[in-house]
Amino acid sequence: MQTDIIEIQSPAPGTQLSLQVLRFGTPGTGPKAYIQGALHADEVPAILVTRQLARQLAELEAQGAIHGEIVLVPVANPIGMAQHILGAHQGRFDVRDGSNFNRGYAELAPLVIDQLRNQLTPVVSNNTPLIRSALKAAADAQVASHSTQDLKNQLLRLAVDADIVLDLHCDTDAVMHIYALTPQAAIAEELGAALGARAVLLATESGDCPFDEACSRPWLVLQQQLPQFPIELACFGATVELRGETDTDHTLAAQDAHGVCQFLAQRGVLSVPVIGLPEALCFPTPLSGSEPITAPHAGVVVFHRQPGDKVQAGELIADLVNAATGEVTALRCQSAGLLYARCGSRWATAGKRLAKIAGTTLARTGRLLSP
């Protein structure tokens, strides 16, 4: 294992920021996998899993079992790790300007398309390395004007030339679920089976360029915009939601790290026996069909269903009690599906998303992820 430290642009004199990068295996001898934890810095179950992975991968490396290269960033957001406001950790949004740490990554396809139009060939295997190095050069050329932008650029540079990108997060109160690109449903299902995911949510574009899509979507965009050339989707990217933010458990973390290793073995990055992936617990569903249960007015939330519950259309998910009148509004779902996440607070402001159901009834458009 090699440890690199990458300096991030300092936000103020006397302040230093850095990323710890752990490298396993040998670049160029097989596929490259990139894994990071806690890009939303308060989603700390991901850190338990990346630390477990570091231990397991070091052992596998000593056994000569890594075929290719694995780059692991155990704590992906040093800026968010240090943000505390009145005692509460704020790891999702940059307090500098309110931007989400997992949105607004550089969209690289438009930056490389003209160059590739002149370089690509009729042979798909020739095109993959050409595209990969063009994307890497475009990521390397990104300029940052502040620390958060620099952090985003540095993370993208580490990941953009990988075959597999896993961005480990968690939700507030949730069962294991995964986001990935629709055309990569089969690989997403494999990952879901390895991790015991209860929902796999697919989109061709989630909106606002989250990290995983900044790595995986350029291939899809180039495929669509350069149809005269054969282009494969050479980067599988996924966001893994490791249950809820209070689910810090050594046994679960070891199990999740093992699941990640089984997936990497399945994808040819680790030459360890795959002990037969468990059967998938769910079929992938469209992210556009994920139904948010939203508070129509402010009130106290009383849930009737919890994460992991299968629900029918019309089922009562929660009551919302009006603080001024005591009146109760019943909040029912339109979709049949699986309730996979719900909010942490039991006080709702009007418009707050209280729960999410993986279903197939709705067809939402526009920005599909939570803000």
**Which residues would be at the binding site for Zn ion (CB under 5 A)?**
40, 43, 169
Residue 43 vs 161, nearer CB to Zn ion: 43
Residue 8 vs 39, nearer CB to Zn ion: 39
Residue 222 vs 253, nearer CB to Zn ion: 253
Residue 169 vs 305, nearer CB to Zn ion: 169
DSSP structure string for 113-164: HHHHHHH--S-HHHHHHHHHHHHHHHHHT---SSHHHHHHHHHHHHHTT-SE
Contacts of 300 (CB under 8 A, 6+ apart): 320, 321, 323, 346, 347, 348
Helix axis angle, 45-62 relative to 250-266, nearest 10°? 50
Helices marked H in 197-293: 211-225, 250-266
Question: Which residues, listed in sequence order, are joined to residue 165 by a DSSP beta bridge?
Answer: 34, 237
Q: Which two tokens stand for residue 197?
A: 């995911």
Q: How far is the CB of 167 from Zn ion (least distance, A)?
A: 8
- The amino acid that residue 258 corresponds to is H
Question: Which residues, listed in sequence order, are joined to residue 169 by a DSSP beta bridge?
Answer: 241
Residue 334 vs 370, nearer CB to Zn ion: 370
The whole-angstrom separation of Cα 227 and Cα 222 is: 8
The whole-angstrom separation of Cα 119 and Cα 108 is: 17
Helices marked H in 27-103: 45-62, 78-81
The whole-angstrom separation of Cα 69 and Cα 21 is: 13
Residue 60 vs 368, nearer CB to Zn ion: 368
Question: Which residues, listed in sequence order, are joined to residue 318 by a DSSP beta bridge?
Answer: 303, 331
Collapse the DSSP code of 29 into the 3-class scheme (helix H, G, I; strand E, B; otherwise coil) and give the result.
coil
SS3 content of the chain, % helix, strand, coil (to 5): 30, 30, 40
Residue 60 vs 253, nearer CB to Zn ion: 253
Residue 169 vs 217, nearer CB to Zn ion: 169
Q: How far is the CB of 93 from Zn ion (least distance, A)?
A: 11
